[in-house]
Structure 1
């Protein structure tokens, strides 16, 4: 009877302690989903971009979830930029609509590259980053899924970090007769939120958003130079890189479970170790 009472009390305490936390964790995505998303509706900013830049400095900014289009020529380098925050795993997809087959004399190889805010080329975790289109093909599809963006990394590592990312799309190995043919492109970036499983103990002071340092008028000896950002876009909820992640919630739940298990185990062993009462005179 005593053991049953201890188990019942422990189960009740466990349920009363963990249930509110679990409800809070499960309700958080629902609240987030109900909030409006700027990147989900391209019409919010007047429509998706219809052109691409020709260098890192002139890269066209796009939001995640937007489908940008651009016209160009074979041999051109086309550039776009987008923001990515810690815990996200971006996937870049591009479609190139090729010139008419009668104007091409050979197959074409197209490639998509992604660079971070320090202009370090990021490796694709998976996806068809380079593809060769046959001479009679009408289009070619490319994709690149990056590694999960980390809130912090060692200085010698090449891990993707929060900030601006650049997309470069171009054809490689073209002959002289293939240069200058008109093409149209479509580019879209989506991200999967990985969450606390990718959290690290650290964060950047600022996201890697490239800027141009300009000399400002110094009114005193403590005045510093100003910086003009090359990229003005950021995630819908702002840059959230920091110490907090849902990993802390599950760590707290694990600690509570361990404490309750210890209390229950102590109560069970204490009850089982009691000496049996001996009736006097028996």
Structure 2
């Protein structure tokens, strides 16, 4: 009985310790920046001029049908970003197909797990909405892999197959990026030395104050090192449970192996 009570107490204590870590692993949407800054109201026209936005911000921009509009945002290990875009179309127009593409810090196009990445707006439709849910950002990948890695990501929004009469018509756009924290289920063994942020090598490798930095935004808590995840908690939990089970099994086996005493005179 003492062994059973000790085992129960140990399990209860272990469960209380693991509960917060398990709660942190549940998907949680990102929150808007608390720095009080206003959301961007314009978009870039190329990768180098992409407008930086934070996750949780809703950026707006005015443009023309046929333009390429670019934004960039930071994404860290364990996050699964979702990019949403809404395009307000002119009062009169022909059918238009709009598309949203996402590229990583190496400018590799990242596939969408699901979402309406391309949509065709019927003639005279008021607006069109697009969405792209990326794969979970990994801390490390093989050189030949195309896995999403921590760093800067680029969003490109444009219309394809536009008629000549519609080229140049004004449009208003809204873009927002949110992420879910996937947790240790997406953890891998290994991490990048630096996130894939354009200009970070120049910034860290030179002592000049005017060193080029092409992307200045980073996650609110900074870039993670990539080695820690709640997978370590569950691994330690399994080890402790296995040890307790071994102690309990040994105690039960030892108790059942004792010789039975025969009362005197029996």
TM superposition score normalised by structure 2: 0.91
Count of residues in Structure 1 that have an aligned counterpart in Structure 2: 261
Superposition pairs of residues 13-32 of structure 1, within 5 angstroms: 13-16=10-13, 18-25=14-21
- Alignment RMSD, CA only? 2.5
Instruction: Give the equivalent residue in structure 1 for 2:67.
Output: 76
1: distance between equivalents of 2:44 and 2:2? 71
2: distance between equivalents of 1:259 and 1:21? 17
The Cα shift of 1:23 comes to 4.9
The Cα shift of 1:169 comes to 0.1
1:62 aligns with 2:58: no
1: distance between equivalents of 2:60 and 2:248? 62
Instruction: Give the equivalent residue in structure 2 for 1:239.
Output: 223
1: distance between equivalents of 2:24 and 2:108? 34
2: distance between equivalents of 1:253 and 1:51? 49
SS at match of 2:226: coil
Instruction: Give the equivalent residue in structure 1 for 2:131.
Output: 143
1:6 aligns with 2:3: yes
Residue number among 250, 267, 272 corresponding to 2:256 in the alignment: 272
The Cα shift of 1:19 comes to 3.9
TM superposition score normalised by structure 1: 0.86
2: distance between equivalents of 1:15 and 1:260? 13
The Cα shift of 1:135 comes to 0.1
2: distance between equivalents of 1:61 and 1:224? 24
SS at match of 1:241: coil
Any stretches of 5+ residues in structure 2 without a counterpart?
none
CA-to-aligned-CA distance 1:173-216 (integer Å, 9 cap, x gap): 112111100000000000000011111111000000012887xx
SS at match of 1:201: coil
CA contact (8 A) 1:95 1:140 kept: yes
SS at match of 1:259: helix
Residue number among 40, 45, 60 corresponding to 2:32 in the alignment: 40
Q: Assess, with a 3 A threshold, how the Cα gap between structure 1 residues 42 and 133 changes in structure 2: closer, same or farther.
A: farther
CA contact (8 A) 2:90 2:124 kept: no
1:90 aligns with 2:91: no
CA-to-aligned-CA distance 1:33-72 (integer Å, 9 cap, x gap): 9xxx9x6147711x10000000000000000000000000
The Cα shift of 1:5 comes to 3.5
The runs of at least 4 consecutive aligned structure 1 residues that moved more than 4 Å come to 26-29, 223-227
2: distance between equivalents of 1:24 and 1:213? 37
Residue number among 148, 160, 180 corresponding to 1:192 in the alignment: 180
SS at match of 2:36: helix
Superposition pairs of residues 243-262 of structure 1, within 5 angstroms: 243-262=227-246
